[in-house]
Amino acid sequence: MSDSIHCVRCGRADAPALGKPPLRGALGAEIASRVCADCWQEWQRAEVMVINELRLNFMDPSAHEILLAETRRFLGLDGAPGAEVEKRPDPR
Ligand SMILES: [Zn+2]
């Protein structure tokens, strides 16, 4: 088990790993293997704003799907850069 990963969002090759999946299911496993702990924390803060902005109501099952899609987009899991990504130069 390694402590660092190559993060798809910030692009760092030795970013701190989450250690364990932050969400249940396949998405949680994917995030743990591809997104660093710092970027996940950024999303934790952004998530609150996204929920407010989109007025997501979790009584509505589609709200969960929308939030998952926003999570993937923010973290750049589908290849598209996240909304506020700043490319940092790879130190190597
Ligand atoms: Zn990162």
Residues 6+ apart with CB under 8 A from 3: 16, 17, 19
CA of 53 relative to ligand 1 center, distance in Å: 24
For residue 79, what pLDDT is reported? 78
Structural domain for 38, as ranges? 4-75
Residue 45, in any domain of the structure: yes
Residue 85, in any domain of the structure: no
Closest CA to 18 of 42, 1, 35, 43: 35
d(CA 30, CA 53): 26
Q: Answer with the residue of higher pLDDT: 3 or 22.
A: 22
CA of 77 relative to ligand 1 center, distance in Å: 11
Residue 80, in any domain of the structure: no
Q: Is residue 82 scored above 50 in pLDDT?
A: no
d(CA 66, CA 53): 12
In sign, the C-alpha dihedral spanning 65, 50, 45, 87 is: positive
* Residues that place a CB less than 5 A from ion ligand 1: 7, 9-10, 15, 36, 39
Residue 36, in any domain of the structure: yes
Residue 46 belongs to a domain with what CATH number?
Answer: 1.10.3880.10
Q: Is residue 46 scored above 60 in pLDDT?
A: yes
Q: Is residue 87 scored above 70 in pLDDT?
A: no
Q: Is residue 83 scored above 60 in pLDDT?
A: no
For residue 9, what pLDDT is reported? 96
Closest CA to 2 of 11, 23, 78, 13: 13
Residue 88, in any domain of the structure: no
For the chain, give the mean pLDDT.
88
**Average pLDDT of 2-29?**
94
Residue 92, in any domain of the structure: no
Provide the domain count of the chain.
1
